[in-house]
Homo-oligomer: A and B are copies of this chain.
Amino acid sequence: MTEQETVTAALLVIGEEILSGRTQDENIAYIAGSLDRIGIALSEVRIVPDGIAEISGAVNSLRQQFNYVLTTGGIGPTHDDVTTDAIASALARPVVEDDPRAIEAMRECFPGKELGPGLRRMARLPEGAELVPNPLSGAPGYMIDNVVVMAGVPLIMRTMMDNVVRRLDTGTRVSSRCIRVDAVEGEVAQTLADLQAAHPKVRIGSYPFFEESGYGTHVVFRSKDVDLIDNAARALRGALETSGTRYAEVSASAEG
């Protein structure tokens, strides 16, 4: 297997309600999982308030570091929805009012309904935006340069993300395997350190868990090369059997 270039992304969550503790985020895990499945490495997440300076500053910092920047939130009809102005400012593009494609999409969703200033606010798009459809309420997300702009309402974000994953340049998928070890992290720390040193091309993560059924350590192997994962996992099983430590295979994800 030849190593392909890694495709990276950052996620910018625009959400004052998350920063104030009012709302529990529901979007990060869905987007992280969607990107992981198409071989894009989500490399950073930022959550910022609904302010033009905060959003455009973060977009410009992130889009220079990563292949894609995805955003959620702030594209609704109200005064506190300022994402489009922030994206336009970050990309130095003008904002186009009443984008005809967006107006048409909203008319199809609300036949016969007059589009007042609130709804028309959702047809303001940075010049050059390609639409991401929103079958639930019409008002679109969009892609522009390497930035993907989606709604914050989880139900709508998911339909947009499911569309977006088909339009991004994908990389080689990172495969993973998880072994549940019936020992606390401290007891297997040296074993895992030796294992990581012997398998430098596999990323070996260690995550303690505490459940009603017991506690222990999830050891997660991640690599683009399934064979390398298999080798490292075999070595861990051998070491655990030698020391008489119980373990179980938890899951295996698709191949790279």
Residues of chain A having any CB pair with chain B under 8 Å = 13, 16-25, 28-36, 41-50, 54, 76-81, 116-119, 121-122, 153, 155, 174, 176, 185-190, 192-193, 196, 203-208, 210, 220, 222
A207 CB contact (under 8 Å) in B23, B116, B174, B203? B23
List of B residues within 8 angstroms of A42 by Cβ? 19-21
Q: How far is the CA of A149 from the CA of B86 in the complex (A)?
A: 32
Q: Which of B44, B78, B190 contacts A185 (CB 8 A)?
A: B78
Min Cβ gap A240→B in Å is: 15
Given contact pairs A78-B185, A204-B79, A206-B76, A32 touches B45 in the complex (Cβ within 8 A): no
Select A118's contact among B43, B76, B189, B220, beta carbons within 8 Å: B189
Interface centre among A28, A79, A118, A186 (most CB of B within 10 A): A186
Cβ–Cβ < 8 Å partners of A122 in chain B: 186
Q: Nearest 7 CB-CB pairs, A to B?
A: A118-B189, A21-B33, A21-B32, A118-B186, A45-B47, A78-B206, A79-B193
Given A189-B79, A204-B80, A19–B47 Cβ distance below 8 Å? no
In contact, B29 and A28 (Cβ under 8 angstroms) = no
Please measure, in the bound complex, the distance between the C-alpha atom of A32 and the C-alpha atom of B32, giving whole angstroms: 21
A223 → B minimal CB distance (Å) = 12
9 other A-B residue contacts (CB within 8 Å) besides A77-B189, A118-B186? A20-B36, A21-B29, A21-B34, A21-B36, A25-B28, A44-B48, A50-B205, A116-B190, A122-B186
Q: Do A19 and B43 form a contact, CB below 8 Å, given A25-B28, A121-B189?
A: yes
A79 CB contacts on chain B under 8 angstroms:
189, 192-193, 196, 204, 206
Asked whether A186 and B28 contact (CB < 8 A) given A49-B43, A78-B193, A208-B76, the answer is: no
Given contacts A185-B77, A205-B50, contact A28 B33 (CB under 8 A): no
User: Is the beta-carbon distance between A25 and B23 smaller than 8 angstroms?
Assistant: no
Give every chain B residue within 8 A of A208 (Cβ-Cβ). 76, 153
Whether the Cβ atoms of B17 and A205 lie closer than 8 Å is yes
A78 contacts B189, C-beta separation under 8 Å: yes
A31: chain B residues within 8 A (beta carbon): 21
Residue of B nearest to A115 (CB): B186
